[in-house]
Amino acid sequence: MTQERVDTILRHPVGERVTHWAVAIVFIFLFTSGLALFHPFFFWIASLYGSGQVMRFLHPIAGVLLVLLFYPYAARVWRDNRWTAADSGWVRQMWAFMRKEFHPSDTGKYNAGQKLMFWSMVPLIALLLLSGVVIWQPWFAPVFPPALRRWAALVHAVCSFAMFVGIGVHWYAAYWTRGSIRAMVRGYVSPSWAKFHHPAWYRGIAGREE
C-alpha cells in the first residue's frame, strides 16, 4: 500500500509561479518568431502570428517584456542560486547523475544544473536585449553604425541559439525530474520530494519548523 502523499512544503510562492509561466509564454513566442527569421525552413511560423510584418513588429516588444519579467524574478531567486563547493562536485558527477548512478545529499533549493541554467540566462538575456535594441527597426537601429548592427545581429543569433539549448535542457530536466512541473504550477511539494531532490534545502526548512 502506498502512502498518501501530502504536499506541505511551499517551494515556489504564487508570484514566482505566475512570473515563471509568463516568462515561459513570452519565451515561446520569442523563440518561434526568432526561428522564423533565423532560417527560412521555419518561415511558415510567421503565418501563425498573422504575417511576417506583424511578427517582426511584435518580436522586439516581446523581448522587452521578457526582460521586464525575467530580471525581477531573477532578483528574487538569485540568493538560492549562489554557487557552492557542493555544486562543483555535482558538475563533476553530472553524467553519473543523469544515469541515476549518483545522487548527492547536499543539494540546496536548486541543484547545480539549475544554477548553471540561471547564471547562463542572466547574461544571455542582457546580451539579447542590448544586441536586439541595436537592430530594432525602425526606431533604434538607424542610430547605430552599420558595422555595429552587423555584429549585433550575429551576437543576437548566437545568444538566442545558446538560450534555446539552455531552455531545451531546462524543459527536459523539468519533465525528467518528476514532480517539478507540478511544483512550479501548484507551488507545494511533499516532504519526501524535498528530502530526495533538495536535501540541504529540506533540512533548512525542517530545522526552522522545529
- Of residues 99 and 208, the one with the C-beta less far from another protein: 99
Under rule CB under 8 A, residue 176 binds another protein: yes
- Of 2, 14, 40, the C-alpha closest to 187 is 14
Let me know: does 135 contact 149? Beta carbons within 8 Å. yes
How many angstroms separate the CA atoms of 193 and 131, rounded?
Answer: 41
- Of residues 66 and 152, the one with the C-beta less far from another protein: 152
How many angstroms separate the CA atoms of 177 and 159, rounded?
Answer: 27
Under rule CB under 8 A, residue 205 binds another protein: no
Residues 6+ apart with CB under 8 A from 91: 112, 116
How many angstroms separate the CA atoms of 63 and 178, rounded?
Answer: 31
- Of residues 63 and 179, the one with the C-beta less far from another protein: 179
For another protein, which residue of 32, 52, 106, 120 counts as binding (CB under 8 A)?
A: 52
Q: Give me the least distance between CB of 102 and another protein, in Å please.
A: 12
Q: Give me the least distance between CB of 75 and another protein, in Å please.
A: 26
- Of residues 124 and 157, the one with the C-beta less far from another protein: 157
For another protein, which residue of 99, 208, 209, 210 counts as binding (CB under 8 A)?
A: 99
Tell me whether residue 12 is one of the annotated catalytic residues. Answer: no
Cell, residue 178:
518528476
Residues 6+ apart with CB under 8 A from 167: 27, 31
Strands 9-10 vs 188-189: parallel, antiparallel or unpaired: antiparallel
Q: Which residues bind another protein (CB under 8 A)?
A: 2-3, 5, 36-43, 46, 51-53, 55-57, 98-100, 135, 137-138, 141-142, 146-147, 149-151, 153-154, 157, 161, 164-165, 168-169, 171-172, 175-179, 181-182, 184-186, 190, 192-193, 196-197
Where in the sequence numbering do the catalytic residues fall?
A: 170
